[in-house]
Structure 1
């Protein structure tokens, strides 16, 4: 029986290989490690400011930090974050922690996202939300729990249109 007339023959199709393969998503552990490194770097700058501004002393006495102390912490934190990570985010889509662990933030097309978009939607908005009593803490917690989705995108990733990947080597 001729193959052209065989009704039981498997379909034939020409296969092509995509040379621009999708980058692998960064593991949850790599993202956590990068966040811990970034947090440690930030604390090296912000803890001394909190100490010098009296925030630690107030906390020791059970007094909530004043609005001025909180704003000072936010401004110093933003300044340090930009000094340490601004260039890396703009050029490579990486914070220092992500750079050390060889993972990067990309947009949905796989490109380095615009710096302004990253700073506003991925970082600043969530830092400000954290200051909202009760609701802010819950939103930040929900944001982080979204890492357990199949696509490993947190709320801040969804809002900014980003994902964290292992760049091709």
Structure 2
């Protein structure tokens, strides 16, 4: 039940990611047209907007990568042949993601508060718009990676139960 809820949530994030990617094309296209053609005047706010969108795209993409298991990880041992060793290898990765998620969550609120006291140069937007993405992503990394770890533990328990 909870897995379906998380899967639906991540599907919604994929849709949001597509919308943000489409939205990113607008200020970038405006920048290219103004810089190389002179058709439209040069707008400086487009660079800030592109940066804001890009930050959110990266953070949302990282959350989806944690859910899909497509995030970057380094294996220092060869692939496990037993279910217990596979659980150990994957468990270390999930715990590391959860640890970094906790760090992003804890220190991200301070970072977001710092951004809340600042405004962007051209758009005069509160920088908490982008800074808040850090603790949000960290919390979601913890939840999603914790769920994946619980799934793997349940899978190993199920295999052991079937063997006995």
Larger relative helix fraction: 2
Q: Highest CA radius of gyration, 1 or 2?
A: 1
Larger relative strand fraction: 1
TM-score for the superposition, normalised by structure 1: 0.30
